[in-house]
Amino acid sequence: MKKLSKILLGTFFLMILFSTITSFNVVAVGNPDDTFEVPGDTYQKHIQANTMTMFRFRARTQLRVNANVNLEINFDCEALKIGAKDFALEIEGEGDLYMNMTCTEEQKELGLLKGNTYQIRNRNRVQYQEGFVVKLECNGTFTRARLSILATNDNSVGQWAYYDEATEEWVSVPTTIQNGYLTAEVSHFSTWTILIPDNTILIVGLSIGGVIALIIIGSVIYVKKRK
């Protein structure tokens, strides 16, 4: 009887845990309920709660938005520079939200330029190659959000990262691939992008290590022949 009680109790807690993990059930990546073709760079739209809406700027850059509350949003997207990108934003909020979303290829004022290498908070070196930066500003209360961008061969090892204005550095957050998208759950809005681990140091280190190994092996062979 005690064993059965323990099994039932354990099952109950597992169900609670699973429910907590899967409670973020707003789905933004997929077929949209509404699609809007935007010929310019700016656009303003009221989005009804639980309606996944896609905005395609200049037939290039796709921005998908979904929230469990009504959302008033202002877009500013330099699609001609960004090109073909597919970004999705999911939000869980409390009450109506008012947002500004600015999408750029680079952030020169933050020193973020394509092809550059940076050292982030964990002291790892990363490269900026994505060509997509999103600045999110929100008036209203939201509990959490999810950022997603279509995974490619070039960014599949990347991580979402935000710019910490207090320390003036980029901070990466846990990122996974879900349904073909690089995805991260976030608790605040700021300036976000994808950063790629810089393997240059590793490759150089391996190369130097290989040269040293060859020298050692050659020396051993030489000594043996001399004997």
* Pairing label, strands 86-104, 61-67: parallel
Domain assignments of the chain as residue spans, ordered by start: 29-226
Element (H, E) at 134: strand 133-150
Element (H, E) at 14: helix 2-21
**For the whole model, what pTM was predicted?**
0.77
As a whole-number percent, the residues of the chain with pLDDT over 90 amount to: 69
Residue 57 · residue 81 · CB < 8 Å: no
Separation between Cα atoms, residue 198 and residue 172, nearest integer Å: 14
DSSP-based three-state secondary structure for 26: coil
Q: Which range has the top average pLDDT, 36-45, 162-171, 206-215?
A: 36-45
**Span 32-63, pLDDT tens digits:** 999 999 999 999 999 999 999 999 999 999 99
Mean pLDDT value of segment 112-124: 88
